[in-house]
Amino acid sequence: MEITKKFQGVYDIDGNVATENLNQGIKVYGERLVENEDKEYRIWDPRRSKLAAAILNGLETFPFKEDSKVLYLGASAGTTPSHISDICNNGLIYSVEFSPKMMRKLADLSQMRKNIIPILDDATKPRNYMNLLQKVDAVYSDVAQPNQSELFMDNARLYLKEKGIGILMIKARSIDVTKAPNKIFKEEESKLKTNGFRVIEKVKLEPYEKDHMAFICEFSF
Ligand SMILES: C[S@@+](CC[C@H](N)C(=O)[O-])C[C@H]1O[C@@H](n2cnc3c(N)ncnc32)[C@H](O)[C@@H]1O
């Protein structure tokens, strides 16, 4: 087995991306566990997590450090948040989700992973959770909604630290199924730019996710 480090807390194991398991022996979504020496790794599935897909497709900007504070929008049952929880094992992942059904699963996960703070709320109303969080090093957004860019920018303006990084996963078909995805990506990019966000990097998520693009940006205060 060959293990190399890709980013802090992220590993390449024989061509797979993986994180070191914060909860040894426990799987979150049926992922494969791999033991090596005294460590256990969780294979990060790029078909279940857009962040893993972006990493495999060459993502270079990686804002997640051991002690990072992250605002995660659209946390669902916690698949991707769980890997960020492995990486930011001394940080906090404020995880916003508005579906009560998903939140029940996320709340269970947060019992085992103390760095995941579940927030049952609507990410289009970021002031609702103002009393629950501090400024963050990164805002990660994956909500698959028509207003996904606006929601991301509203949260980033309020909560992102100066020099913080935003990652916005755009699903073109959630914005307009009739338009060409590349046209949508251009329109969303120009929205980001006119609103003061500087796009540092763009990564397409094919073949893992069709018609998706990861936008990595900074906000100019
Ligand atoms: C594509 S799934 C997220 C998958 C998750 N990010 C992962 O990788 O593990 C999108 C999630 O966003 C949630 N969502 C959509 N709009 C939202 C909103 N306005 N506020 C909070 N959550 C929202 C949905 O309920 C759904 O669980």
- Grade residue 1 by pLDDT with cuts at 50, 70 and 90: confident
Domain count, the chain: 1
Q: Whose CA is nearest to atom 11 of ligand 1?
A: 74
Q: Is 142 in the pocket of ligand 1 (CB under 6 A)?
A: yes
Residue 50 lies inside a defined structural domain of this protein: yes
- CATH assignment of the domain containing 119: 3.40.50.150
| Residue whose C-alpha is closest to residue 18's, from 43, 53, 45 | 43
Q: Is 60 in the pocket of ligand 1 (CB under 6 A)?
A: no
Q: What is the dihedral of CA 201, 53, 90, 103, to 10 degrees?
A: 110
Instruction: Indicate whether 174 pLDDT > 80.
Output: yes
Residue 4 lies inside a defined structural domain of this protein: no
Residue 172 lies inside a defined structural domain of this protein: yes
- Grade residue 221 by pLDDT with cuts at 50, 70 and 90: low
Residue 24 lies inside a defined structural domain of this protein: no
Residue 139 lies inside a defined structural domain of this protein: yes
Span 117-144, pLDDT tens digits: 999 999 999 999 999 998 999 999 999 8
Alpha helices in the chain (DSSP H): 50-56, 79-87, 100-112, 148-159, 172-175, 181-194
Query: From ligand 1's centre to the CA of 160, what distance in Å?
Result: 19
Span 8-52, pLDDT tens digits: 999 999 999 999 999 999 999 999 999 999 999 999 999 999 999
| Residue whose C-alpha is closest to residue 115's, from 136, 146, 93 | 93
Residue 80 CB partners (closer than 8 Å, separation 6+): 49, 50, 51, 52, 72, 140, 142
Query: From ligand 1's centre to the CA of 113, what distance in Å?
Result: 19
Residue 40 lies inside a defined structural domain of this protein: no
Residue 91 lies inside a defined structural domain of this protein: yes
For residues 50-64, give the mean pLDDT: 98
Residue 93 lies inside a defined structural domain of this protein: yes
- H or E segment and range at residue 145: none
Q: Is 29 in the pocket of ligand 1 (CB under 6 A)?
A: no
Instruction: Indicate whether 220 pLDDT > 90.
Output: no
Range of the domain at 185: 46-219
- Model-level pTM greater than 0.85? yes
Q: Write down the residue that tokens 């929880």 correspond to.
A: 85
